[in-house]
Structure 1
Protein backbone atom coordinates (compact mmCIF):
# COMPACT_ATOMS: atom_id res chain seq x y z
CA UNK A 1 0.00 0.00 0.00
CA UNK A 2 1.27 3.47 -0.91
CA UNK A 3 1.15 5.59 2.26
CA UNK A 4 2.25 8.81 0.57
CA UNK A 5 -0.13 11.76 0.38
CA UNK A 6 -2.46 11.28 -2.56
CA UNK A 7 -1.62 14.75 -3.86
CA UNK A 8 2.03 13.70 -4.14
CA UNK A 9 1.11 10.83 -6.45
CA UNK A 10 0.32 11.36 -10.13
CA UNK A 11 -3.31 10.81 -11.04
CA UNK A 12 -2.35 8.80 -14.08
CA UNK A 13 0.53 6.38 -14.27
CA UNK A 14 3.17 7.02 -16.91
CA UNK A 15 2.56 3.60 -18.41
CA UNK A 16 -0.41 1.33 -18.77
CA UNK A 17 -3.94 1.71 -20.08
CA UNK A 18 -5.93 4.89 -19.68
CA UNK A 19 -7.76 4.85 -16.31
CA UNK A 20 -11.48 4.17 -16.50
CA UNK A 21 -12.18 6.62 -13.66
CA UNK A 22 -10.82 10.01 -12.65
CA UNK A 23 -10.21 11.31 -9.15
CA UNK A 24 -13.09 13.71 -9.68
CA UNK A 25 -15.41 10.77 -10.38
CA UNK A 26 -14.19 8.94 -7.28
CA UNK A 27 -14.74 12.05 -5.17
CA UNK A 28 -18.24 12.51 -6.59
CA UNK A 29 -19.08 8.88 -5.84
CA UNK A 30 -17.87 9.26 -2.26
CA UNK A 31 -19.90 12.44 -1.83
CA UNK A 32 -23.04 10.73 -3.12
CA UNK A 33 -22.60 7.87 -0.68
CA UNK A 34 -21.91 10.22 2.24
CA UNK A 35 -24.93 12.37 1.36
CA UNK A 36 -27.33 9.46 1.05
CA UNK A 37 -25.99 7.04 3.65
CA UNK A 38 -23.65 8.95 5.94
CA UNK A 39 -19.90 9.28 6.14
CA UNK A 40 -19.45 5.90 7.81
CA UNK A 41 -20.82 4.27 4.64
CA UNK A 42 -17.91 5.58 2.58
CA UNK A 43 -15.79 2.46 2.27
CA UNK A 44 -13.64 1.15 -0.54
CA UNK A 45 -16.22 -1.52 -1.29
CA UNK A 46 -19.19 0.88 -1.26
CA UNK A 47 -17.52 3.54 -3.41
CA UNK A 48 -16.38 0.89 -5.87
CA UNK A 49 -19.96 -0.33 -6.16
CA UNK A 50 -21.13 3.27 -6.69
CA UNK A 51 -18.68 3.52 -9.58
CA UNK A 52 -19.76 0.18 -10.98
CA UNK A 53 -16.37 -1.41 -10.53
CA UNK A 54 -14.73 -3.94 -8.22
CA UNK A 55 -12.99 -3.08 -4.97
CA UNK A 56 -9.71 -4.43 -6.30
CA UNK A 57 -9.96 -2.15 -9.32
CA UNK A 58 -10.48 0.88 -7.07
CA UNK A 59 -7.06 0.26 -5.51
CA UNK A 60 -5.56 1.23 -8.86
CA UNK A 61 -6.63 4.80 -8.12
CA UNK A 62 -6.55 5.17 -4.32
CA UNK A 63 -4.56 3.29 -1.70
CA UNK A 64 -7.04 3.54 1.17
CA UNK A 65 -10.36 4.95 2.29
CA UNK A 66 -8.68 8.06 3.64
CA UNK A 67 -7.58 8.92 0.10
CA UNK A 68 -11.25 9.02 -0.88
CA UNK A 69 -11.94 11.30 2.07
CA UNK A 70 -9.19 13.67 0.90
CA UNK A 71 -10.66 13.73 -2.59
CA UNK A 72 -14.14 14.39 -1.21
CA UNK A 73 -13.01 17.33 0.92
CA UNK A 74 -11.09 18.92 -1.91
CA UNK A 75 -13.98 18.43 -4.33
CA UNK A 76 -16.39 20.07 -1.89
CA UNK A 77 -14.03 23.01 -1.38
CA UNK A 78 -13.80 23.38 -5.14
CA UNK A 79 -17.53 23.79 -5.65
CA UNK A 80 -17.13 27.54 -5.29
CA UNK A 81 -14.03 29.70 -5.73
CA UNK A 82 -12.94 32.08 -2.99
CA UNK A 83 -14.93 35.33 -3.05
CA UNK A 84 -13.55 38.32 -4.93
CA UNK A 85 -11.06 40.31 -2.88
CA UNK A 86 -12.28 43.76 -1.87
CA UNK A 87 -9.15 44.94 -0.10
CA UNK A 88 -11.14 45.26 3.13
CA UNK A 89 -9.78 42.49 5.38
CA UNK A 90 -12.88 42.36 7.57
CA UNK A 91 -15.31 42.16 4.65
CA UNK A 92 -13.18 39.52 2.96
CA UNK A 93 -12.86 37.33 6.07
CA UNK A 94 -16.61 37.67 6.61
CA UNK A 95 -17.25 36.47 3.07
CA UNK A 96 -14.88 33.53 3.55
CA UNK A 97 -16.60 32.55 6.79
CA UNK A 98 -20.05 32.63 5.19
CA UNK A 99 -18.92 30.49 2.26
CA UNK A 100 -17.28 28.00 4.62
CA UNK A 101 -20.46 27.76 6.67
CA UNK A 102 -22.58 27.27 3.55
CA UNK A 103 -20.32 24.43 2.40
CA UNK A 104 -20.47 22.68 5.76
CA UNK A 105 -24.24 22.97 5.93
CA UNK A 106 -24.50 21.68 2.36
CA UNK A 107 -22.25 18.73 3.18
CA UNK A 108 -22.76 17.69 6.82
CA UNK A 109 -19.80 15.30 6.63
CA UNK A 110 -17.37 18.04 5.59
CA UNK A 111 -16.82 19.42 9.08
CA UNK A 112 -15.96 15.99 10.45
CA UNK A 113 -13.39 15.29 7.76
CA UNK A 114 -11.94 18.80 7.97
CA UNK A 115 -11.16 18.23 11.64
CA UNK A 116 -9.91 14.67 11.24
CA UNK A 117 -7.91 15.13 8.05
CA UNK A 118 -7.05 18.69 6.99
CA UNK A 119 -6.78 18.49 3.22
CA UNK A 120 -3.81 19.75 1.24
CA UNK A 121 -5.43 19.32 -2.13
CA UNK A 122 -5.37 22.05 -4.78
CA UNK A 123 -8.73 23.55 -3.85
CA UNK A 124 -7.94 23.51 -0.15
CA UNK A 125 -4.58 25.16 -0.78
CA UNK A 126 -6.24 27.83 -2.91
CA UNK A 127 -8.59 28.65 -0.03
CA UNK A 128 -5.74 28.67 2.48
CA UNK A 129 -3.69 30.99 0.30
CA UNK A 130 -6.63 33.35 -0.21
CA UNK A 131 -7.51 33.47 3.48
CA UNK A 132 -3.94 34.07 4.61
CA UNK A 133 -3.45 36.70 1.90
CA UNK A 134 -6.34 38.69 3.41
CA UNK A 135 -4.24 39.24 6.53
CA UNK A 136 -0.90 39.59 4.77
CA UNK A 137 0.67 43.02 5.03
CA UNK A 138 -1.41 44.12 8.03
CA UNK A 139 1.41 43.98 10.52
CA UNK A 140 0.71 40.53 11.93
CA UNK A 141 3.43 37.98 12.51
CA UNK A 142 3.20 34.60 10.79
CA UNK A 143 1.95 33.03 14.04
CA UNK A 144 -0.67 35.75 14.48
CA UNK A 145 -1.92 35.23 10.93
CA UNK A 146 -2.12 31.50 11.58
CA UNK A 147 -3.98 31.98 14.87
CA UNK A 148 -6.44 34.42 13.30
CA UNK A 149 -7.35 32.12 10.42
CA UNK A 150 -7.61 29.06 12.69
CA UNK A 151 -9.82 31.01 15.11
CA UNK A 152 -12.21 32.04 12.35
CA UNK A 153 -12.26 28.51 10.92
CA UNK A 154 -12.87 26.96 14.34
CA UNK A 155 -15.73 29.35 14.99
CA UNK A 156 -17.35 28.52 11.65
CA UNK A 157 -16.92 24.81 12.25
CA UNK A 158 -18.43 24.95 15.75
CA UNK A 159 -21.38 27.00 14.56
CA UNK A 160 -22.08 24.70 11.63
CA UNK A 161 -21.83 21.53 13.72
CA UNK A 162 -24.24 22.97 16.29
CA UNK A 163 -26.70 24.01 13.61
CA UNK A 164 -26.54 20.61 11.92
CA UNK A 165 -27.14 18.87 15.24
CA UNK A 166 -30.22 21.00 15.83
CA UNK A 167 -31.49 20.27 12.33
CA UNK A 168 -31.20 16.54 12.91
CA UNK A 169 -32.89 16.63 16.32
CA UNK A 170 -36.39 15.20 16.55
CA UNK A 171 -37.59 18.33 18.37
CA UNK A 172 -37.21 21.81 16.94
CA UNK A 173 -36.00 24.68 19.10
CA UNK A 174 -39.50 26.22 19.05
CA UNK A 175 -41.05 22.94 20.16
CA UNK A 176 -38.44 22.56 22.88
CA UNK A 177 -39.07 26.07 24.22
CA UNK A 178 -42.82 25.52 24.16
CA UNK A 179 -42.42 22.23 26.02
CA UNK A 180 -40.67 23.94 28.93
CA UNK A 181 -43.96 25.58 29.84
CA UNK A 182 -44.38 26.39 33.50
CA UNK A 183 -40.86 25.18 34.33
CA UNK A 184 -39.31 27.78 32.04
CA UNK A 185 -41.60 30.48 33.47
CA UNK A 186 -40.53 29.54 36.98
CA UNK A 187 -36.86 29.88 36.06
CA UNK A 188 -37.46 33.27 34.46
CA UNK A 189 -39.35 34.64 37.46
CA UNK A 190 -37.49 32.92 40.29
CA UNK A 191 -34.57 34.32 42.29
CA UNK A 192 -32.31 31.25 42.45
CA UNK A 193 -30.57 32.06 39.16
CA UNK A 194 -30.94 35.86 38.95
CA UNK A 195 -28.59 36.53 36.03
CA UNK A 196 -30.07 33.70 33.96
CA UNK A 197 -33.58 34.87 34.80
CA UNK A 198 -32.77 38.41 33.65
CA UNK A 199 -31.30 37.15 30.37
CA UNK A 200 -34.34 34.92 29.78
CA UNK A 201 -36.61 37.92 30.14
CA UNK A 202 -34.57 40.59 28.38
CA UNK A 203 -32.77 38.76 25.58
CA UNK A 204 -34.50 39.03 22.19
CA UNK A 205 -32.03 37.00 20.13
CA UNK A 206 -33.17 33.52 21.30
CA UNK A 207 -36.67 34.27 20.05
CA UNK A 208 -35.69 35.21 16.50
CA UNK A 209 -37.02 32.98 13.76
CA UNK A 210 -33.61 32.86 12.06
CA UNK A 211 -31.72 32.24 15.31
CA UNK A 212 -28.87 30.18 13.82
CA UNK A 213 -28.10 32.80 11.17
CA UNK A 214 -28.33 35.64 13.69
CA UNK A 215 -26.05 33.90 16.17
CA UNK A 216 -23.53 33.18 13.45
CA UNK A 217 -23.43 36.75 12.21
CA UNK A 218 -23.21 38.29 15.69
CA UNK A 219 -20.63 35.80 16.91
CA UNK A 220 -18.48 36.20 13.80
CA UNK A 221 -18.50 39.96 14.28
CA UNK A 222 -17.05 39.51 17.76
CA UNK A 223 -14.43 37.05 16.54
CA UNK A 224 -13.31 39.60 13.96
CA UNK A 225 -13.26 42.28 16.67
CA UNK A 226 -10.64 40.13 18.34
CA UNK A 227 -8.61 39.99 15.13
CA UNK A 228 -8.92 43.77 14.78
CA UNK A 229 -7.57 44.18 18.27
CA UNK A 230 -4.33 42.55 17.17
CA UNK A 231 -4.03 44.94 14.25
CA UNK A 232 -4.07 48.06 16.36
CA UNK A 233 -6.13 51.23 16.19
CA UNK A 234 -5.82 51.46 12.44
CA UNK A 235 -7.77 48.24 11.81
Structure 2
Protein backbone atom coordinates (compact mmCIF):
# COMPACT_ATOMS: atom_id res chain seq x y z
CA UNK A 1 0.00 0.00 0.00
CA UNK A 2 1.41 3.37 -0.99
CA UNK A 3 1.62 6.24 1.47
CA UNK A 4 -0.95 8.16 -0.58
CA UNK A 5 -3.41 5.25 -0.50
CA UNK A 6 -2.92 4.82 3.25
CA UNK A 7 -3.62 8.50 3.88
CA UNK A 8 -6.71 8.36 1.66
CA UNK A 9 -7.97 5.39 3.66
CA UNK A 10 -7.35 7.23 6.93
CA UNK A 11 -9.27 10.26 5.68
CA UNK A 12 -12.15 8.06 4.45
CA UNK A 13 -12.31 6.29 7.82
CA UNK A 14 -12.27 9.64 9.63
CA UNK A 15 -15.14 11.01 7.53
CA UNK A 16 -17.31 8.09 8.68
CA UNK A 17 -16.92 9.40 12.25
CA UNK A 18 -19.22 12.30 11.43
CA UNK A 19 -22.14 9.87 11.80
CA UNK A 20 -23.26 8.53 15.22
CA UNK A 21 -23.19 4.93 13.94
CA UNK A 22 -19.62 5.39 12.68
CA UNK A 23 -18.52 6.78 16.05
CA UNK A 24 -20.14 3.96 18.00
CA UNK A 25 -18.68 1.29 15.73
CA UNK A 26 -15.14 2.66 15.89
CA UNK A 27 -15.27 4.07 19.44
CA UNK A 28 -13.64 7.14 17.90
CA UNK A 29 -14.73 10.73 17.22
CA UNK A 30 -13.50 13.88 15.50
CA UNK A 31 -12.18 16.91 17.36
CA UNK A 32 -11.96 20.00 15.17
CA UNK A 33 -10.12 23.22 15.83
CA UNK A 34 -7.16 24.20 18.00
CA UNK A 35 -8.95 24.23 21.38
CA UNK A 36 -10.38 20.73 21.08
CA UNK A 37 -7.29 19.26 19.45
CA UNK A 38 -5.03 20.72 22.14
CA UNK A 39 -7.28 19.35 24.91
CA UNK A 40 -7.35 15.92 23.26
CA UNK A 41 -3.56 15.91 22.93
CA UNK A 42 -3.20 16.72 26.65
CA UNK A 43 -5.39 13.71 27.49
CA UNK A 44 -3.39 11.47 25.17
CA UNK A 45 -6.49 10.48 23.20
CA UNK A 46 -5.37 11.53 19.71
CA UNK A 47 -4.71 8.85 17.08
CA UNK A 48 -4.47 10.89 13.88
CA UNK A 49 -4.16 14.60 13.10
CA UNK A 50 -5.12 16.06 9.73
CA UNK A 51 -4.18 19.60 8.77
CA UNK A 52 -4.06 21.78 5.69
CA UNK A 53 -0.85 23.57 4.78
CA UNK A 54 -2.14 26.86 6.17
CA UNK A 55 -3.28 25.20 9.41
CA UNK A 56 0.14 23.58 9.81
CA UNK A 57 1.72 27.02 9.68
CA UNK A 58 -0.89 28.64 11.88
CA UNK A 59 -0.87 25.99 14.63
CA UNK A 60 2.79 24.95 14.49
CA UNK A 61 3.37 25.75 18.17
CA UNK A 62 0.35 23.71 19.26
CA UNK A 63 1.26 20.66 17.17
CA UNK A 64 4.96 20.65 18.01
CA UNK A 65 6.40 17.22 17.25
CA UNK A 66 2.99 15.59 16.66
CA UNK A 67 2.81 13.55 13.45
CA UNK A 68 0.41 15.28 11.10
CA UNK A 69 -1.20 14.04 7.89
CA UNK A 70 -1.27 16.96 5.43
CA UNK A 71 -4.59 17.25 3.59
CA UNK A 72 -6.05 19.46 0.91
CA UNK A 73 -8.63 22.15 1.63
CA UNK A 74 -11.19 19.89 -0.04
CA UNK A 75 -10.39 16.99 2.28
CA UNK A 76 -10.46 19.31 5.30
CA UNK A 77 -13.93 20.49 4.29
CA UNK A 78 -15.10 16.87 4.04
CA UNK A 79 -13.82 16.26 7.60
CA UNK A 80 -15.58 19.35 8.97
CA UNK A 81 -19.18 20.16 9.81
CA UNK A 82 -18.55 23.91 9.87
CA UNK A 83 -19.10 26.44 7.08
CA UNK A 84 -15.53 27.74 7.26
CA UNK A 85 -13.24 24.92 8.43
CA UNK A 86 -10.00 25.90 10.17
CA UNK A 87 -8.26 22.94 8.55
CA UNK A 88 -7.26 21.11 11.76
CA UNK A 89 -8.99 17.85 12.76
CA UNK A 90 -7.97 15.01 15.07
CA UNK A 91 -9.29 11.47 15.33
CA UNK A 92 -9.64 10.69 19.04
CA UNK A 93 -10.36 7.62 21.12
CA UNK A 94 -13.43 7.90 23.33
CA UNK A 95 -12.42 8.20 27.00
CA UNK A 96 -13.02 4.90 28.80
CA UNK A 97 -15.12 5.63 31.86
CA UNK A 98 -18.08 3.78 33.36
CA UNK A 99 -20.96 4.87 35.58
CA UNK A 100 -19.69 2.53 38.29
CA UNK A 101 -16.33 4.32 38.26
CA UNK A 102 -17.77 7.82 38.61
CA UNK A 103 -20.11 6.68 41.39
CA UNK A 104 -17.38 5.03 43.44
CA UNK A 105 -17.04 8.03 45.79
CA UNK A 106 -18.92 10.98 44.29
CA UNK A 107 -19.60 14.36 45.88
CA UNK A 108 -21.26 16.25 43.03
CA UNK A 109 -22.86 14.79 39.90
CA UNK A 110 -24.80 16.64 37.20
CA UNK A 111 -27.44 14.74 35.22
CA UNK A 112 -28.90 15.98 31.93
CA UNK A 113 -32.20 14.15 31.35
CA UNK A 114 -33.47 13.71 27.77
CA UNK A 115 -31.24 16.54 26.53
CA UNK A 116 -31.62 16.50 22.76
CA UNK A 117 -29.98 19.83 21.97
CA UNK A 118 -26.20 19.38 21.46
CA UNK A 119 -25.51 23.00 22.41
CA UNK A 120 -27.25 22.56 25.77
CA UNK A 121 -25.50 19.24 26.39
CA UNK A 122 -22.10 20.75 25.65
CA UNK A 123 -22.81 23.73 27.89
CA UNK A 124 -23.80 21.42 30.75
CA UNK A 125 -20.57 19.47 30.28
CA UNK A 126 -18.63 22.73 30.49
CA UNK A 127 -20.54 23.78 33.62
CA UNK A 128 -19.97 20.42 35.31
CA UNK A 129 -16.26 20.76 34.63
CA UNK A 130 -16.10 24.37 35.85
CA UNK A 131 -17.90 23.53 39.10
CA UNK A 132 -15.69 20.54 39.84
CA UNK A 133 -18.38 17.90 39.41
CA UNK A 134 -17.34 14.26 39.44
CA UNK A 135 -19.26 13.59 36.24
CA UNK A 136 -21.92 14.71 33.79
CA UNK A 137 -24.42 11.96 33.06
CA UNK A 138 -26.53 12.06 29.91
CA UNK A 139 -29.64 10.17 30.95
CA UNK A 140 -32.55 8.86 28.95
CA UNK A 141 -32.93 9.74 25.28
CA UNK A 142 -30.06 12.22 25.10
CA UNK A 143 -27.76 13.58 22.42
CA UNK A 144 -24.51 11.88 21.46
CA UNK A 145 -21.88 13.72 23.56
CA UNK A 146 -19.39 13.36 20.69
CA UNK A 147 -21.63 15.22 18.27
CA UNK A 148 -19.53 18.02 16.75
CA UNK A 149 -21.83 20.79 18.05
CA UNK A 150 -21.78 19.30 21.54
CA UNK A 151 -17.99 19.09 21.48
CA UNK A 152 -17.69 22.75 20.47
CA UNK A 153 -20.15 23.86 23.15
CA UNK A 154 -18.17 21.94 25.77
CA UNK A 155 -15.12 24.11 24.89
CA UNK A 156 -12.77 21.21 25.60
CA UNK A 157 -14.38 20.18 28.89
CA UNK A 158 -15.41 16.86 27.31
CA UNK A 159 -11.75 15.93 27.90
CA UNK A 160 -11.67 17.15 31.51
CA UNK A 161 -14.80 15.82 33.20
CA UNK A 162 -16.10 12.23 32.89
CA UNK A 163 -19.16 12.05 30.64
CA UNK A 164 -21.23 8.88 30.74
CA UNK A 165 -24.56 7.80 29.29
CA UNK A 166 -27.41 6.11 31.16
CA UNK A 167 -30.37 5.10 28.96
CA UNK A 168 -32.67 4.18 31.89
CA UNK A 169 -33.16 7.34 33.96
CA UNK A 170 -35.10 5.74 36.82
CA UNK A 171 -32.46 3.05 37.18
CA UNK A 172 -29.83 5.81 37.22
CA UNK A 173 -31.67 7.59 40.06
CA UNK A 174 -31.57 4.36 42.07
CA UNK A 175 -27.84 4.05 41.37
CA UNK A 176 -27.28 7.65 42.51
CA UNK A 177 -29.12 7.02 45.78
CA UNK A 178 -27.20 3.77 46.32
CA UNK A 179 -23.95 5.72 45.83
CA UNK A 180 -24.91 7.93 48.78
CA UNK A 181 -26.00 11.01 46.83
CA UNK A 182 -28.98 13.18 47.71
CA UNK A 183 -30.87 13.45 44.42
CA UNK A 184 -32.23 16.94 43.67
CA UNK A 185 -34.72 17.48 40.84
CA UNK A 186 -35.05 20.98 39.41
CA UNK A 187 -38.73 21.78 38.77
CA UNK A 188 -40.84 24.91 38.42
CA UNK A 189 -43.26 23.70 41.11
CA UNK A 190 -40.73 22.19 43.50
CA UNK A 191 -41.77 22.14 47.15
CA UNK A 192 -38.33 23.24 48.38
CA UNK A 193 -36.59 26.52 47.59
CA UNK A 194 -32.92 26.41 46.63
CA UNK A 195 -32.36 28.95 49.41
CA UNK A 196 -33.49 26.44 52.04
CA UNK A 197 -31.34 23.49 50.99
CA UNK A 198 -28.44 22.01 52.91
CA UNK A 199 -25.94 21.45 50.10
CA UNK A 200 -22.76 20.50 51.96
CA UNK A 201 -23.55 16.82 51.33
CA UNK A 202 -22.90 14.57 48.31
CA UNK A 203 -25.49 15.68 45.76
CA UNK A 204 -26.77 14.76 42.31
CA UNK A 205 -28.68 17.39 40.33
CA UNK A 206 -31.26 16.36 37.71
CA UNK A 207 -31.83 18.87 34.92
CA UNK A 208 -34.64 18.38 32.41
CA UNK A 209 -34.79 19.22 28.74
CA UNK A 210 -35.26 22.82 27.62
CA UNK A 211 -38.63 22.07 26.02
CA UNK A 212 -40.30 19.68 28.48
CA UNK A 213 -38.43 19.79 31.77
CA UNK A 214 -38.13 16.63 33.83
CA UNK A 215 -40.58 13.76 33.30
CA UNK A 216 -42.99 13.51 36.25
CA UNK A 217 -41.84 9.99 37.12
CA UNK A 218 -38.22 11.13 37.29
CA UNK A 219 -39.00 14.20 39.42
CA UNK A 220 -41.04 12.05 41.80
CA UNK A 221 -38.18 9.55 42.12
CA UNK A 222 -35.81 12.25 43.39
CA UNK A 223 -35.26 12.89 47.09
CA UNK A 224 -36.09 16.59 46.77
CA UNK A 225 -37.87 18.69 44.15
CA UNK A 226 -36.23 22.10 44.04
CA UNK A 227 -37.34 25.45 42.69
CA UNK A 228 -35.06 28.43 42.11
CA UNK A 229 -36.59 31.56 43.65
CA UNK A 230 -36.92 34.43 41.20
CA UNK A 231 -37.79 37.98 42.23
CA UNK A 232 -38.46 39.40 38.76
CA UNK A 233 -41.12 38.76 36.18
CA UNK A 234 -39.44 35.84 34.40
CA UNK A 235 -41.41 32.62 34.67
CA UNK A 236 -38.47 30.29 34.16
CA UNK A 237 -34.77 29.94 33.37
CA UNK A 238 -33.17 28.05 30.53
CA UNK A 239 -31.46 24.81 31.51
CA UNK A 240 -27.95 26.25 31.33
CA UNK A 241 -28.79 29.12 33.68
CA UNK A 242 -30.57 26.84 36.13
CA UNK A 243 -27.70 24.36 36.10
CA UNK A 244 -25.12 27.09 36.62
CA UNK A 245 -26.96 28.41 39.70
CA UNK A 246 -27.54 24.99 41.28
CA UNK A 247 -24.09 23.59 40.60
CA UNK A 248 -22.41 26.76 41.85
CA UNK A 249 -24.41 26.66 45.08
CA UNK A 250 -23.45 23.02 45.63
CA UNK A 251 -19.79 23.58 44.80
CA UNK A 252 -19.60 26.55 47.18
CA UNK A 253 -21.24 24.58 50.00
CA UNK A 254 -18.90 21.64 49.48
CA UNK A 255 -15.88 23.95 49.48
CA UNK A 256 -17.11 25.43 52.74
CA UNK A 257 -17.53 22.00 54.30
CA UNK A 258 -13.93 21.23 53.38
CA UNK A 259 -12.77 24.35 55.17
CA UNK A 260 -11.43 25.87 51.96
CA UNK A 261 -12.16 29.35 50.64
CA UNK A 262 -14.97 29.88 48.17
Q: Same fold (TM over 0.5)?
A: no
Q: Of Structure 1 and Structure 2, which has the larger fraction of its residues in strand? A: 2
Which has a greater percent of helix? 1
Larger-gyration structure (1/2): 1
